């Protein structure tokens, strides 16, 4: 629809700009990106992924947030096509998308805050990060046979988060003494068995709260918490809000 301005100060130029303003969807798209980056934690995560590719656990350590909270921000960034992923074995790695929008936002963040890529970024990128990379350089302290067992332990625990399996049960099932089992698990996954599986429980609980209408107590039971009160306490430690508040916020 052609728009006629009350006064003509600049020939047809003003009217051309006025016509462009009618394309509301373009400005909605920009506003959506700005809303997405209105959270400072999300900006930090996006900026970091503009400079390196890494996993959730490393991101959590660098930004001092729980893995479920980081996963929540990553999901939003990925839905907006600002972040991409690749899978290597059981591990998923995240990086900023190679798109004009992501590049422009990266430059805007650095230009606004006067931060820049670390001078030793090349050296950082050359350091092996994954267990497979460290194994190739001889730095890993886990043999291929032990690595296979630990990954099976992980999969056994992650397959049914509603089940509580003790370290002793795992030790008997996989024929490995408990001390070695715990030490190797930490070497492979960067965290204790209990802490790592707890992160899986919280991530699954958050997904169920977002995607289902199941009662909070039922969701707690599904991820291994027989007590709804205990589940609510642990969930709030990770996300800073109760399960009910989290669900309401997602809606």
pLDDT at 56 over 50: yes
Q: Look at residue 112 and tell me whether its pLDDT is greater than 50.
A: yes
The distance in angstroms from the start CA to the end CA of the chain is 36
Residue 4's pLDDT is: 64
pLDDT tens figures, 129-163: 444 444 444 445 677 888 889 989 999 998 889 98
pLDDT in tens, 188-215: 887 889 988 988 899 899 989 988 889 9
- Domains defined for the chain, CATH in brackets: 37-127 (1.10.10.10), 141-251 (1.10.10.60)
Q: What is the pLDDT of residue 5?
A: 57
What average pLDDT does range 24-36 have in this prediction?
A: 75
């Amino acid at each position: 629809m052609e728009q006629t301005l009350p006064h003509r100060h600049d020939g047809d130029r003003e009217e051309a700009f006025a016509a462009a303003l009618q394309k509301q969807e373009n400005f909605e798209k920009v506003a959506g990106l700005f809303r997405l980056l209105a959270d400072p934690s999300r900006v930090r995560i996006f900026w970091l992924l503009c400079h390196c590719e890494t996993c959730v656990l490393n991101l959590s350590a660098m930004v001092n947030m729980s893995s479920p909270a980081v996963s929540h921000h990553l999901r939003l960034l990925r839905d907006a096509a600002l972040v991409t992923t690749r899978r290597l074995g059981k591990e998923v790695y995240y990086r900023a998308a190679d798109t004009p929008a992501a590049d422009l936002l990266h430059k805007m963040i650095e230009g606004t805050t006067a931060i820049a890529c670390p001078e030793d970024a090349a050296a950082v990128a050359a350091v092996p990060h994954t267990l497979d990379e460290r194994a190739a350089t001889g730095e890993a302290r886990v043999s291929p046979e032990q690595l296979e067992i630990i990954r099976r332990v992980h999969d056994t625990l992650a397959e049914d988060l509603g089940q509580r399996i003790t370290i002793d049960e795992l030790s008997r099932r996989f024929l490995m003494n408990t001390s070695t089992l715990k030490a190797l698990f930490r070497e492979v996954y960067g965290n204790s068995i209990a802490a790592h599986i707890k992160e899986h429980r919280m991530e699954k609980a958050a997904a169920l709260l977002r995607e289902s209408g199941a009662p909070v107590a039922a969701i707690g039971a599904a991820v291994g918490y027989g007590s709804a009160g205990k589940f609510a306490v642990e969930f709030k430690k990770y996300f800073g809000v109760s399960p009910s508040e989290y669900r309401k916020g997602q809606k």
